[in-house]
Structure 1
Amino acid sequence: MAVGSVEREGDRVQCHLCERWFKSVTAHLSSHGWDHIAYREAFGLERGASLEGDATRKRRAALMRKRRVLDPAIREGVDRGIDMARSGLLAKAAAEAARGRPQPEQRRRKTLRTLAEIGPEARAEGRRRQGTEQLKRTAAEAAARLGYGSIGALVRDRVEAGASLAAISREAGLHKDWLTRKLAIVDGEAADFATRADRRWDTPWLPVLAELGFSDVADYLTDRHIVRHETVWAIAAETGFSRKTVESALARHGLARRPHVRKRNALRQRADAIADRFGFADIAAYLAHRRAAGWSWQAIAAEADQPQTWIRRRAREAGL
């Protein structure tokens, strides 16, 4: 007989131990010196799996219904069980009792059959719902760490004080972009409030940016800091705002501040010019080719007309 299943034939059930057929294997197990709990565990059966034939099981159920009517103790016990089932306490108790216990083979097979019947769209929806619940738990825990009853209350309080979502995320022990990306999922009203507040903080910028040909703060900051590699100090000087105001605007619009941006851009242009001069895609390809050809660092530096320390530093950055 297969482990994890009960073989039935009419009103009889087959015993896994002796392969004989009985109306009730439960009553038969004592002849083997077994009880029904050990039997179910040994053969991968669920604890509630019936070990009786259908007719026998129906007769027992009918008898129990009569006893429920006539016996107050049984009636009280059944009613208590029904109340526990409706309240969810029975399911919780069952889950607690099953914790740490291997899943029976019979239950595993049922689970696999059930999962196989679930369509891909339903699975995707289930994963989305589970992910949303996890995000809400994470948000609630983050708010509780700072003494707030909800993530919405935390965001409103901090935003009104002038904090960005990135700053709030870091304060709450989350990734700096967590609230920017997830707040609309866990609390749409708080996300709308933060968006309106962001626009309010952008208001002083608009007249200044209009003179520079921009209508949006994010577009201006992207152009100056990301595209043109202007420093925070240069942006502050151009707009007349303080360095802190510029840094807050960058954070508010999800733009990472780039320290030494001009120097880094100049360095990149310098490396690209050397690679282009000798027909390579980038400085890493140039250095790798020369080293593979047996060139020394001194020879490469002489050819590139750069200090040897500069060449070695680029090589380390490229992992050579």
Structure 2
Amino acid sequence: MGAAAGFRHGHLWELPDGTGLHARPGELTVEDATGRLCCHLCGRWYTSLGSHVRAHGYTAESYRAAMDLYAGEPLIARTLSASIRDRQAGRYHRSEELREVFAAGAARLRGRARDVRSRPEPAQRVNRRRAALEAGRRTVATRRAQELAARLGDMTLAEYLRSAYADGASMETLAAVTGLGRVRLRAALDDAGVAVRPVGTNTPEGRRSRALSADRAAAERVGTDDLPTWLADRHTAGWSLVRLAAAVGHSTHWVRWRLERNSAPVLRHLG
């Protein structure tokens, strides 16, 4: 009995002055089944928490401030809030006088709307939004890092960039493989010690890379693994260069060049 009398409940949270709390500060803990709210100070559940906190020496306003809640956060259960709302709505619809009072109040509020909008946003809300945004950025950064690691395998980003760029890969190819935007890609190249080629500089490797990319895109568009044969067969079957160009998503000049490159005759009457 003596041991039980000397037992003190351990609190997971506390106020700056050391007061133990039964619920996390900064939020209201809601009971799923009933919608009742948990008192931070005693841990009991209440339909009207705003009325209960007076037993702890708080007003609703001072309780919200002490527990880091939003200034206008309701301290009543959803069920009670809905009941009050329904009763007030019934009174509003039954009473013309009440509707006139509400209309006059709404007009006054509209007149003060500019003043309300010009007030600075509460620091508490600003800080919470900033924290949420920062958490979101960290989540996105982590996901991008995981996706990049999966693409590159055992290579680091710097190793891949040095190797691929030296082999003539274009900025577009590097961006597609790494998932980096142009600004972040240039920063990564700088960090890897890669000197970016001046705009307009071309290399045989780069030209081959672009040609292969164009071939792959055209082949995927028409659903074939052998684009030269596909072009030659359809041109021989009567497809014009215009029709072939529309099918593969390139110009007629590209189609003509592709046919001639693979020694396929270009039929003049179908050009």
Shorter-chain TM-score: what band?
0.3 to 0.5
Choose between structure 1 and 2: higher helix proportion: 1
User: What is the TM-score of this pair, normalised by structure 1?
Assistant: 0.30
